[in-house]
Amino acid sequence: MEPGDPAAVEQLFDAVAPSYDRLNDLLSLGLHRHWKRRLLSMLRPKPGEHWLDLCCGTGDLALLLARAVRPGGSVIGVDSAAAPLRCAEQRSRQESWLPLTFRKADALQTGLPDASADGVVMAYGLRNLADPARGLAEIRRVLRPGGRAGILDFNRLDPEVPAARFQRLYLRRIVVPVASAAGLQEQYAYLEKSLQRFPCGQQQEDLARSAGFKEATHHTISADQMGILMLQG
């Protein structure tokens, strides 16, 4: 499975969708929920705003956003894989009053109008795109002038630093064996391969500025294991 292959990535997330939330809780000890809340606390979505969750997966961030923008706001969750979207829609039906809709679309070409969103989030999606630079350009296109965006993902580290050695150990000795027990060894082995082609924090900042963002700042969290790219349109 080659990183950046759209068809392979879609098949990967269709395969992991039924186990995705349970495995995320297990493998991160529930910390992925804290990281997502941290992202939103930095972005400060407000009631009445209109937000987009790209690569929304099973809907964690979209649900959090929809609660934050009430009353008067709205959230659109976008993903290219059908199975995670079905999970997201099922979860959203439990809170049917939330201003939340989902659509199947490519994050590189959402089909949404220019300057239609007050804010955009993406969690663990930029790394999987065929072209992260095009992904950032699409975020800038749909974001209104002065809007804000935040991207949460693994942090690509210098392979020689201790934090990078810990990251490799975590992926190889914990993530892959646990996923193997669920029959998903290949899908989770992909994580390390996808990190090898992922731009580091400084490169993400440079790509974002080239895409037209006025401000781009990459922050590391969780002992440098995760990164949040904060963007201003």
Tens-binned pLDDT, residue by residue, of the chain (233 aa):
566 678 877 888 888 888 889 988 999 999 999 999 999 999 999 999 999 999 999 999 999 999 999 999 999 999 999 999 999 999 999 999 999 999 999 999 999 999 999 999 999 999 999 999 999 999 999 999 999 999 999 999 999 999 999 999 999 999 989 889 888 888 888 889 899 999 999 999 999 999 999 999 999 999 999 999 999 99
CA distances from 204 to 118, 130, 217 (A): 21, 15, 9
**For residue 178, which of 25, 37, 71 has the smallest C-alpha distance?**
25
Residue 192 covered by a domain:
no
Residue 186 covered by a domain:
no
Residue 164 covered by a domain:
no
Q: Which long-range contacts (CB under 8 A, 24 or more apart) does 173-180 make?
A: 174/27, 175/27, 178/23, 178/26, 178/27, 179/23, 179/27
Q: Which residues of 153-183 are buried (b: 16+ CB within 10 A; e: fewer)?
A: bbbbbeeeeeebeebeebbeeebbeebeeee
**Which residue reads 């529930």 in tokens?**
30
What is the count of structural domains for the chain?
1
Residue 76 covered by a domain:
yes
Residue 217 covered by a domain:
yes
Residue 204 covered by a domain:
yes
Domain limits for position 95:
6-155+198-232
Residue 181 covered by a domain:
no
CATH number at residue 34: 3.40.50.150
Residue-level pLDDT at 4: 65
Residue 212 covered by a domain:
yes
